[in-house]
Amino acid sequence: MALQATMNAFDVAVVGEVYIDHVFTGLASWPRPGEEVLSRGYVREPGGGSVNTACGLARLGRSVRLFGLVGAVDMPWFTARLGDFGVSTQGLRAHPAGTGVTASASMDDDRGFFTYKGANAELGQLLTDEDVIADLCATRHVHFALPLERGIAQSLLPRLERAGCTTSLDVGFSPEWLGNPLNRDTCLEVDYFLPNQKECGLLLGSDQDEAFTRFVRKEGFGHGALKLGPAGALGVDREHAWRVKPPRVVVRDTTGAGDAFDAGFIDALLDGRDLNTCLERACICGALCATEAGALAGLPDIQQLGSFHEQTYGG
């Protein structure tokens, strides 16, 4: 049994919201009510933080299983497209509410979005399913890319810990979740909570390095990571708080940079590296993601990551 479990184990399970992104580009103007505007370009891609982080980890050679809910009709498309990246979709379940959809429209200087959450609104169901929990327990690391409900966190996180899984959480821009004091405990119960500065401000009332440092030292395990956009990231342990700069790159589009950051961070964690190295790999993945349009095209493979690491941080 133990051997079987080991053979089946994936490196990472990524759980979260899954979308079909419809991206319209090259619009001359915004439509007024009742008008139609033609777009010069269009792509349809899998989207959502969970998809982006899963693809980032797969690009780095990790075995990754994505858990989420989509409409049955879209399942073959997700399996094919995510299969191109090497992400397993065995953890996706069909749901009658249909796949979540985002339509984004880009002009040269601005973008606008329409989003329908679809089956993503029912994700709580998935995380109380015993078969799903057993699959999560059989992976080395579980990454949650969603505002994890407090009740689910209380029942699930101790089980994952007992199974020997490490955990991370990126709730994204979720003002209601971050403003609810009950969820502070969830941020501290996962091994790594991975917010950006804006999310830190909503959680703690301050987005300053000192506020985050105090939070993880006084209330948490004493270690933490905060994303700082172009400035890179802040690392905190019991003795030090330090900043890690990203490599210099030509930035084209920062969509998904935070999700790519999570992938680099988890990749180093799985190699048993220290927090500083986790932040360096994370910053490289975030910065390279930002060099291409969209969240997936710029994700580095293991060779690119290695050479950027050598150039930027010297090894």
d(CA 255, CA 23): 12
C-alpha to C-alpha distance for 294 and 227, rounded to whole angstroms: 19
Edge-to-edge strand ranges of the sheet holding 39-47: 39-47, 19-27, 100-106, 111-116
Residue 49 phi, psi (nearest 5): -55, -40
Task: Identify which of residues 107 and 251 has a Cβ nearer to ligand ATP in the complex.
Answer: 251
| Residue range at the interface with Mg ion (CB under 5 A); choices 37-45, 77-85, 183-191, 252-260 | 252-260
Region from 76-84, 122-130, 131-139, 254-262 binding Mg ion, contact rule CB under 5 A = 254-262
Cβ closest to ligand ATP, residue 99 vs residue 196 = 196
Who's near 163: CB < 8 A, 6+ residues apart?
A: 137, 138
User: Which of Mg ion, ligand ATP, none does 132 bind, CB closer than 5 to 8 A by kind?
Assistant: none
Helix axes 257-270, 49-59, angle to 10 degrees: 50
Q: Please give the residue ranges that form the binding site for ligand ATP (CB under 6 A).
A: 196, 227-230, 232-233, 246, 249, 251, 254, 256-259, 261, 283, 286-287, 290
> Which CB sits closer to ligand ATP, 55 or 137?
55
Listed residue (126, 73, 123, 118) closest to 97, CA to CA: 118
Q: Which residue is nearest to Mg ion, using beta carbons?
A: 258
Q: Is 258 in the site for Mg ion (CB under 5 A)?
A: yes
Contact (Cβ atoms closer than 8 angstroms) between residue 287 and residue 257: yes
C-beta of residue 132 within 8 angstroms of C-beta of residue 107: no
Minimum gap (Å) between residue 220 Cβ and ligand ATP: 19
> Minimum Å distance from CB 196 to Mg ion?
5
Cβ proximity to ligand ATP, 70 vs 282, nearer residue: 282
Q: Which does 228 bind (CB under 5 to 8 A by kind): ligand ATP, Mg ion, none?
A: ligand ATP
Residue 229 binding partner per list Mg ion, ligand ATP, none, with a CB distance cut-off of 5 to 8 Å that depends on partner kind: ligand ATP
Nearest in space to 204 (alpha carbons), one of 171, 226, 234, 181? 181
Of the pair 125, 276, the CB lying nearest ligand ATP is at: 276
The contact set with Mg ion (CB under 5 A) reads 258
